Amino acid sequence: MSMEQTVCNLVKQHWNDLHPNSKPPDSFVFFKIASKTSPNAAIIAMLFDARNRRPVAVAKIPRNPQFTTGIEREYEAMTDIRNAINDPRILAHIPYRGVLTDNDGIKILLQAAGVGHPMVREMTSQKSVEALYEQILPWMYAFHSHEAEKCVLEDDILNNFVKAPIENFMAQFGHVSSDILSSDARQYFSELPQKVKGQVVRLCRQHGDFNAHNTLVEYDSGRLYNFTLIDWEDYTTRQLPVHDLNHFFTSNSHLLGGYMKPEESYLSILLNDGWYRNLYIKAIEEYETRGLIDKNTFFTLTPLYMIKMCFCVSDSQRNQQNTIKTWIKRMNLYINRYLLDAK
């Protein structure tokens, strides 16, 4: 039996986990869609209700059946979201229903399908980006504020969320030449724990890869009326509130930069003054208003987001080591701008 048939049978069998209180379709259409290319990532298939022509499920099949960390992480995220979040306004944009099946020892993740097309396609002008962000950012604020845990950056919290990532980063990447990791950046990281010690932040849930490729949007008569955030395998339940917001603005700046190199678009679109930076600062101010983190602490902690990205892209799930340099270049640029502003 092909994986195509196996997955169709599994969806039928677990229909109630995906779409409770509805009847499964008589037949499905299986469509293998794009996914990450690393040897340990998942192959993704979309299943349609053959009669209604609508996507009803997504199946994530391990490319390497011995390596299922990614889909297990995503299933844990779905379970946590299902159990911990009961606000329907937050849940409405997350495909949290699903099941991790074990088919003759091969784990396959089934999820209710998110509907819409990638937001990337709509990011064609300042106006369209502003309209998208206007709807998506308030959801992000609500998601991050939900049960966020107030704490002071000291002792274990400072160690776990600030000192340890820096130490790990320096142990793994500190050997690179100063052409790659600037001396300013090294100095910055050596002083960072002391600089933020005693600051109050709220630890919160983070999607981990919140960007335009992972956001599906639905339009009606040219107006955005729904969006869904997919790909939750980098989800964390307790994290500094600097990751998602920075990632959303940083990785999307590359899309707005046309043919620019990622670090060039980061500098010219996000770090240099302009409409996109204004949008970014407004979003940080909203975090401050909601008591997640104050603006200065957000800016000070932002390089920790780049540190996390260096680890993310080098993990076996992604296997994108070739982009580490880009993240370090962005880190240097960010720290330059930060130090200039501080003067």
Partner 1 sequence: MTAKLNKIKYVCPLCKTDLIEKETSFLCKACDKLWPIEYGIPKFAESELQYSVFSSDITDKVTELAERTTWQNAVDTYAATIGAYTYSYINDESRADFHVLLPLGQEATVLDIGSGWGNIAISLSSWCKHIYCGDVSMTNLRLLRSRMRDRDLHNVSIFQYEPNSFLRLPFPDASVDIVLLNGVLEWMGAAVINVSPARIQLEALKEIRRVLKPEGVIYIGIENRYSESTLRGQRIHGELPFVGLLPRIITNFITKIVRGQEHRTYIYTMSGYRKLLGRAGYKKIDFYIPYPSYHYPNYMIPLEPSWVKRFWVEQLSVSRSKKYQFFKSLGFSRLPFHWLAYSFGIRCVK
Site residues (vs partner 1, CB under 8 A): 1-5, 7, 29-39, 41, 43, 45, 48, 50, 53, 55, 61, 63-66, 104, 116-118, 120-124, 213
Give the nearest distance from C-beta 111 to partner 1 in angstroms. Answer: 16
**Dist. CA 279–CA 269, nearest whole Å:** 11
Instruction: Extract the runs of DSSP E, i.e. beta strands, from 10-50.
Output: 28-33, 42-49
Give the nearest distance from C-beta 208 to partner 1 in angstroms. Answer: 21
Residue with tokens 């229909």: 15
Residue with tokens 């020892």: 105
Query: DSSP for 52-67?
Result: TTEEEEEEEEESSTT-
Nearer to partner 1, 102 or 104 (CB): 104
Sign of CA dihedral 243, 333, 320, 180: negative
The answer for residues whose C-beta is within 8 angstroms of residue 125's C-beta and 6 or more apart is: none
Give the nearest distance from C-beta 6 to partner 1 in angstroms. Answer: 9
Nearer to partner 1, 26 or 104 (CB): 104
Nearer to partner 1, 157 or 260 (CB): 260
Structural element, H or E, at residue 125: none
Nearer to partner 1, 69 or 187 (CB): 69
Residue type at position 73: R
Give the nearest distance from C-beta 203 to partner 1 in angstroms. Answer: 33
**Dist. CA 107–CA 143, nearest whole Å:** 29
Give the nearest distance from C-beta 311 to partner 1 in angstroms. Answer: 22
Nearer to partner 1, 7 or 335 (CB): 7
Give the nearest distance from C-beta 14 to partner 1 in angstroms. Answer: 18
Residue 172 CB-half CA count within 13 A? 15
**Dist. CA 343–CA 325, nearest whole Å:** 27
Give the nearest distance from C-beta 228 to partner 1 in angstroms. Answer: 12
**Dist. CA 332–CA 326, nearest whole Å:** 10
Nearer to partner 1, 41 or 292 (CB): 41
Nearer to partner 1, 83 or 322 (CB): 322
Give the nearest distance from C-beta 118 to partner 1 in angstroms. Answer: 5
Could you write out the three-class secondary structure of 170-233?
Answer: HHHHCCCCCCCCCHHHHHHHHHHHHHHCCCEEEEEEECCCCCHHHEEEEEECCEEEEEEECCCC
**Dist. CA 139–CA 245, nearest whole Å:** 12
Nearer to partner 1, 64 or 160 (CB): 64
